[in-house]
Structure 1
Amino acid sequence: MHPGLAQFRQLLRAACAAAGVPADDRARLVLSATLLAEAALTTGEHVGLETAAAAHRLAVTLRLPGPVEQDRRNALPLLPDAGDDAAPTWYLPAGQGPAPAPADDDAATREEMLALVARADGLAQQQRELKHELAETNSGVLAMYVELEERDEQLRTAHAFIFRELEDALRPPPPRVPGLELAVRYAPADQSSPTGGDLYDWFVLPDGCLHVTLVDAVGHGVTSTRHALTVTHAIRTLALQGHPFHDLIACTSETLARIEPDLMATVLLARIDPATGRTLLANGSHPPPVLVTAAGAADLLHPPIVGRGVGFPDPGSPELTRRTLRPGDTLLLYTDGLIESRRDLDEGLVRLIEHAPAHARHPIDTLPHDLVARMHDVVLHTDDTVLLALRRTEHL
């Protein structure tokens, strides 16, 4: 993100926090103001920002280099309340008491996107209830149906926008790791919904090793997304603090038990040294990874003793799986949606072992998409699916 745009969003969020603006209103304001100011800030033009809090409301005014077309204004998640085309003004309800500003842009974006999803889900439920009531009235309310259809279209547009933002905030792109090629495919169970409990995280540790976290939270919708996000963040924090790899699942479960007592999630962790190919795997109630060698042999990496996930009784990974990736070897990490499309996990594992070697020869950028499509050729049961592909290369 351009530094000027990040600072601009930080100023907006600080003003909202000081005035006590609710998270969903703050989210719509930040999204709307970003859409209007992004082009100018990216090219170095000046964008003025004026905020004033009084009488239980916050006034926010942008001073843009030029006027905004009416079509762009109409497409904003939060329409301006006043001002001309070059100086839109929003008035937001305030007065809930000052709140601390979000720590960083990524954390703020995740918080705002989850608030928007919850708001959109609530609007969708209200929409369904209202349509049901209208269906029982007489034909004199036909005009209201027309209005509802327009609101439906606005809601679909808002969902699509939220989906793209959530993808960016919750599903990080592969990091650059010399010696490794990385790719991912996420296939939601419901193409119209951005929420789900299958999340992943990958980052490079100070010693140069790649850490990968794959989480499948129990439940559906916004709650499962929040639970999965909580787990990935807790594991990242503990890993960066230097907690032993074999204790990460148990330590995460103990830490979160006091915060999220109802949270349950399967967890798979991988730690790979790109210089040597040395790989450690910790499994907490998760489907086993698949290793496909450069020669085409495929193997399920079952731990000697199966561990249990976060929130499960006796959580942790008592035994680690250890392997050394050789040049050309490909490691596949996935959630159970990949292997249960035909309602039979064992049958799905057999098919995965059968199809993985051929697909492991594909370019890394297309491998996850092609393999998911092959595994989902027959779909009797839909579930969120994540597939991560990690291949060791010849050279660092």
Structure 2
Amino acid sequence: MASLRRRVRAACAEAGILVEDRARLVLAVTLLAEPVLDRGGRVGLEAAVAGGVLTLGVRLPEPVSRLRAGALPQPGLATEDGSVTWQLVTGDRPIPVPADDDRASRQEMLALTSRADTLAREQRDLRDELAETNSGVLAMYVELEQRDEQLRHAHARIFQELEDALRPPPPAVPGLELGVRYSPTEPDSPTGGDLYDWFVLPDGRLHVTLVDAVGHGVASTRDALTVTHAIRTLALEGHPFQDLIAHTSRTLATIAPDLMATALLARIDPVTGHTRLANGGHPEPVLADASGGTRLLRPPVVGRGVGFPAPGSPCLVDVDLVPGATLLLYTDGLVESRKDITEGQDRLLEVARTHADHPAATLPREIVTRMHDIVVHADDTVLLAIRRPADPRLRT
């Protein structure tokens, strides 16, 4: 699938296709091809430029209905032989595409979110104008609201696909078991500011970043992406772990002066289990040890997040993840569903203790379900589980 996306992007780059159009085309091809590739099928791709038009075609094992092809993020034309084609007007010159797939995906999502912001502003302005007209236009206003609702659902579906693509799956780390659960505020909520990133450093340690950006909707998603990308870059450049949050805040101060986000960082050695935590204004992680005990990992001095006054993590928390122990990292939506974060953290300690025998891959889903049995205050939720298995054979 990654190779197919790169070929689509390369064709768009050579033809000078705008980033927004390229994003919709990449997503449309993904929605058609991914199920086929997951089943072991084959997907063909052809692209040609002639007469100022890029023609791109995908050949699938089975025909696609015209209705489905027309409902794609970038509507296409389906034929009976299993092909779907798109035609886009070429630009004046090539438009480069980032070589890194993650950067290309982020660029495409930012283009779509920027367009969505523009559409939202235009729709608000139009509604204000219609509200000031006479009662004879009221019927038109109602119809516009209905179309606006349809558009919001369509955007939500597209943004959810993009967010899923930007939420990295658990990396393969010998000696550790990983699990994740993301629960949006609303089932059709398009985006949110709770994002995470995890990757293996050159020395074999696992780095985890969990961010909760202040705000709502696509703006908070953009801010969270900006923070996670900056932290990843600084971490891979070798900057000291303790300085990453403060360094990120200084770096982004001139680029995004209004950005504010809490951040929690973890650095875990899968061989020894030694774990370091840097907390910038984030809810404290939970450690569930092998004997069934649970506790919050509070730093002696509470740090502050990116964009806050005096940002950083002045005190790190060091803990040994012994065989059989599990580390839980989460955003505040997990413990504030009943509006009392202290009561929520007490419940989390109990739920983590009673469900410690669940596999790490399914533990986050089980905990989120239990914690959200009563929801008075809804908020986006991310829960990451990192376990050092007790069975030595699983740590090799």
TM-score normalized with structure 1 length: 0.85
Note if 1:49 corresponds to 2:43.
no
Mapped to 1, the partners of 2:383 and 2:364 lie a distance apart of 6
3-state SS, counterpart of residue 259 of structure 1: coil
The match for 1:232 is: 228
The amino acid across from 1:189 in the alignment is T
Which has the larger displacement, 181-190 or 147-156?
147-156
The amino acid across from 2:47 in the alignment is L
Q: 1:40, CA displacement in angstroms?
A: 8.9
Mark the CA change 1:140 to 1:380 in structure 2 (over 3 Å): closer, same or farther: closer
Structure 1 contact 13–30 (Cα < 8 Å) conserved? no
Mark the CA change 1:140 to 1:318 in structure 2 (over 3 Å): closer, same or farther: closer
The match for 1:6 is: 5
**Which one of the candidate residues 378, 385, 394 is aligned to 2:381?**
385
The match for 2:54 is: 60
**1:211-250 alignment runs, 5 A limit:** 211-250=207-246
Mark the CA change 1:141 to 1:190 in structure 2 (over 3 Å): closer, same or farther: closer
Which has the larger displacement, 117-126 or 252-261?
117-126
Note if 1:350 corresponds to 2:346.
yes
The match for 1:203 is: 199
Q: 1:343, CA displacement in angstroms?
A: 1.1
Mapped to 1, the partners of 2:348 and 2:49 lie a distance apart of 56
**Which one of the candidate residues 146, 160, 170 is aligned to 1:163?**
160
Query: Runs of 4+ in structure 1 displaced over 4 angstroms?
Result: 33-46, 63-68, 80-87, 120-136, 138-142, 147-155
Mapped to 1, the partners of 2:31 and 2:348 lie a distance apart of 43
Note if 1:371 corresponds to 2:370.
no
Q: 1:315, CA displacement in angstroms?
A: 1.2
The match for 2:85 is: 88
Mapped to 2, the partners of 1:217 and 1:161 lie a distance apart of 21
Mark the CA change 1:91 to 1:296 in structure 2 (over 3 Å): closer, same or farther: same
The amino acid across from 1:163 in the alignment is Q
Which has the larger displacement, 174-183 or 84-93?
84-93
Mapped to 1, the partners of 2:30 and 2:293 lie a distance apart of 50
Structure 1 contact 82–89 (Cα < 8 Å) conserved? no
Gap runs ≥5 in structure 2: none
The amino acid across from 1:263 in the alignment is L
The match for 1:15 is: 14
Which has the larger displacement, 260-269 or 358-367?
358-367
Q: 1:25, CA displacement in angstroms?
A: 2.2
3-state SS, counterpart of residue 184 of structure 1: strand
Q: 1:212, CA displacement in angstroms?
A: 0.5
Mapped to 2, the partners of 1:172 and 1:279 lie a distance apart of 21
Number of residue-to-residue matches in the alignment: 384
Structure 1 contact 291–299 (Cα < 8 Å) conserved? yes
- CA displacement, residues 187-207 of structure 1 (integer Å, 9 cap, x when unaligned): 111221231111111111111
Mark the CA change 1:387 to 1:65 in structure 2 (over 3 Å): closer, same or farther: closer
Mark the CA change 1:327 to 1:157 in structure 2 (over 3 Å): closer, same or farther: same
Note if 1:308 corresponds to 2:304.
yes
Q: Identity across aligned pairs (percent)?
A: 55
